[in-house]
Structure 1
Amino acid sequence: MRNSFLDSSKAVLIFLVVFGHFLERMIGWHDPISHTVLATIYLIHMPAFIFVSGILYKDQNWLKNILFFLSLYILFQFLFIAFESLWSGQFHWNWNVLIKPYWVLWYLLGMMVWTALTHFLIQVSNQFALFLCILLSILIGLSPWNNYLYSVGRIFVFFPFFILGALYGKVIIAKIQQSITVKWWGVIGLFVCMILMYFIQINQYWLYGSLSYTQLKVSAFDGMFTRILCLMLSTVGVFALFSVMHFFQGKWLKLGMHTLPVYLLHGFVVILIARYWKLDVNIFAEMSICFVLSVLTCYILQQPVFDRILRKISLWLMQPTQKLLPVKK
């Protein structure tokens, strides 16, 4: 049975993903207002989405899910590159396309790694799994290699939110749903996050989680300290966001049920519109335009036909590998 609270939460989260990408591509981070909105979105939306992914993790389907995400990852990696080349008129093939996930596709690669690691972690020790993931999230920034390759930085920086969702997510969500006053604390928490983002004007690459401390040009101590603060703020933001879901429970369920096609396909829409429509008006008007475009994009891509298409095209890998999947008893 589906959880309407989670579906409504997923709907809000996927809208924030689409809205954030329209803002980033069409306005950018240079304006203090857009920077504040983008920073608040990026501080919260992917940690929260990954937290939900952890809640929905099912250990008995771990290998099947990895193959499903792999089938989409390989296909869309080439589709995005071909689409970008079509409109730019430039196509330069090299094998780097296989080690640098294209834009939004890092999440698919992350889902494969998080699913595999969680499967083994929960067999070894549930007690220390979250602590180990937090430690990896902090220490990955010390690595001497380019954290952007294979999205290794993002994968490990956001891993604690997946394992938190997998181990404790259902209990956390249940307690949030049971509380009457928590929604107002959520409003306060989101407001505090936005105020902090306005005054700090943080470098967005901290929120991406994609670079090492050396790449971010900070010392190891400053890097670890900043990452810990970002993890703490993101955690507060995640709990605040789910707390305010009391205001939206039962709404936009269709969108919440079809987040994957919206996530994968909205990138094509954003690339195309951002390439041919340059905004040059008042910042609030620009943000309003991005908001409307996000609503329209989500409304169109939430249609079940797109989800069915994704399921169909994933069969190119899923069908030949059926024998690898464990037989259900």
Structure 2
Amino acid sequence: MRNHFLDTHKAILIFLVVFGHFLERMIGWRDPISHTLLGTIYLIHMPAFIFVSGILYKDKNWLKNTLFFLSLYIPFQFLFAVYDGFWSGQIHWNWNVFIKPYWVFWYLFAMMAWTCLTHFLLKVSNGFAFIFSLLMAVFIGLSPWNNYLYSSGRIFVFFPFFIFGVIYGKSVLEKIQQQATAKYYGLMGLMGLMGLMGLAAFVYFTHINPYWLYGSLSYSQLKVTVFDGIFIRIFVLILSSFGIVALLSVTQFFQGKWQKLGIYTLPVYLLHGFVVMWIARYYQVDFHIFLEILICIILSILSCWVLQQAFFDHLLRKMSLWLLNPTARFWRMQK
């Protein structure tokens, strides 16, 4: 049985993903208002999405799911490289296209890593898995190599949210849903809204470096000392955790809304990049900042509405069969 509260939450998150990419590509971080919006979105949306992915993790399907992500990662890496090269007029082919995730596809690459790591870490203990993920999130920044390569930085920086979702996510979700039907319904939602406003105020006044929110660079790449790097990373992880709870609390105000979008988040995530890149290359906005933001909101709504159609999800599922079917046949032969 589907959890409609979770579907609504996923719908909000995927909209924020699309909206954030339109904002970043069409307006950028230059304006204080845009910076505040983007910073608040990036502080929350991917940690929250990864937390939800942890809730939905099923250990019995870990290998099948890893192959599913791989079956989409390989063709989409190729397609995006060709697509980007077509519009820019520069197609540079090399094998790095498959091992260096392109833009949004770091998430598919990371899902493969998180799924495999979680399967083996849980064999030790839940506590060990969570502590290991926290330590790696902090200490990956000490590594001497470029954390952007192979999404190594993002894989480990965001890993605690996935593990926490796997171990404690259902409990957290149940508590928030209980509050949604209890006498604290309005209070919880109001506190969540105030929490989001507090995070926005923090982003506005600190003018935080976006690369701390991407989780993709080491401390040396961010040009900070080890002590400062560890402190800032822990602080950002705490803020993101606070943001996840705040957004879950606000979600209760929208229960039952946009469920179709929440069900079909995968095609929206994988395909919206084509739309964003195409529009951003040909239609650069140059109006008042609030009008520019409104344009991005409208484009995001339209993109989500079109790409949430079941047809695109079925297409992706069929696309994945090029790897899943031969693999399934192979395992049957081995038995």
Say whether the fold is shared (TM-score over 0.5): yes
Distance 1:324 1:184, change over 3 A: farther
Structure 1 runs (4+) deviating above 2 angstroms are 323-327
Distance in structure 1 (CA, Å) of the matches to 2:97 and 2:132: 31
TM-score norm. by structure 2 comes to 0.96
**Runs of 5+ consecutive residues of structure 2 not aligned to the other structure:** 180-184
Residue 287 in structure 1 maps to residue 287 in structure 2: no
Give the deviation of 1:324 after TM superposition.
5.6
Instruction: Please show how residues 141-220 of structure 1 align to structure 2 within 5 Å.
Output: 141-179=141-179, 180=185, 181-220=187-226
Give the deviation of 1:128 after TM superposition.
2.4
User: Pick from 261, 264, 274: which aligns with 1:258?
Assistant: 264
Distance in structure 1 (CA, Å) of the matches to 2:273 and 2:218: 26
Distance in structure 1 (CA, Å) of the matches to 2:47 and 2:331: 29
| SS of the residue 1:281 aligns to | coil
Give the deviation of 1:122 after TM superposition.
1.1
Q: CA-to-partner distance for each residue in 1:135-194, whole Å, 9 max, x for gaps?
A: 110000000001011100000000000000000000000001111232121111111100
- Does the 8 A contact of 2:78 with 2:98 survive in 1? no
Distance 1:21 1:5, change over 3 A: same
Distance 1:244 1:305, change over 3 A: same
- Does the 8 A contact of 2:140 with 2:153 survive in 1? yes
Residue 7 in structure 1 maps to residue 15 in structure 2: no
Q: CA-to-partner distance for each residue in 1:192-225, whole Å, 9 max, x for gaps?
A: 1000000011000000000000111111111111
- Does the 8 A contact of 1:51 with 1:162 survive in 2? yes
TM-score norm. by structure 1 comes to 0.98
- Number of matched residues? 327
| SS of the residue 2:123 aligns to | helix
Q: Identify the residue that residue 135 of structure 1 maps to in structure 2.
A: 135
- Does the 8 A contact of 1:9 with 1:256 survive in 2? yes
Q: Identify the residue that residue 240 of structure 1 maps to in structure 2.
A: 246
Distance in structure 2 (CA, Å) of the matches to 1:49 and 1:136: 19
Q: CA-to-partner distance for each residue in 1:258-302, whole Å, 9 max, x for gaps?
A: 000000000000000000001110000000000000000000000
The one-letter amino acid paired with 1:95 is W
Distance in structure 1 (CA, Å) of the matches to 2:276 and 2:306: 13
Distance 1:248 1:326, change over 3 A: farther
Q: Identify the residue that residue 281 of structure 2 maps to in structure 1.
A: 275
Residue 77 in structure 1 maps to residue 77 in structure 2: yes
Query: Quick one: percent identity of the two aligned structures?
Result: 67
Distance 1:177 1:120, change over 3 A: same
Q: Identify the residue that residue 44 of structure 2 maps to in structure 1.
A: 44
The one-letter amino acid paired with 2:280 is A
Distance in structure 2 (CA, Å) of the matches to 1:63 and 1:190: 37
**Runs of 5+ consecutive residues of structure 1 not aligned to the other structure:** none
- Does the 8 A contact of 1:4 with 1:253 survive in 2? yes
Distance 1:214 1:176, change over 3 A: same
Distance 1:326 1:10, change over 3 A: farther
Instruction: Please show how residues 49-68 of structure 1 align to structure 2 within 5 Å.
Output: 49-68=49-68
- Does the 8 A contact of 1:32 with 1:198 survive in 2? yes
The one-letter amino acid paired with 1:312 is K
RMSD: 1.1
The one-letter amino acid paired with 2:226 is A
Give the deviation of 1:90 after TM superposition.
1.3
Q: CA-to-partner distance for each residue in 1:47-84, whole Å, 9 max, x for gaps?
A: 00000000000000000000000010001000000111
- Does the 8 A contact of 1:17 with 1:45 survive in 2? yes
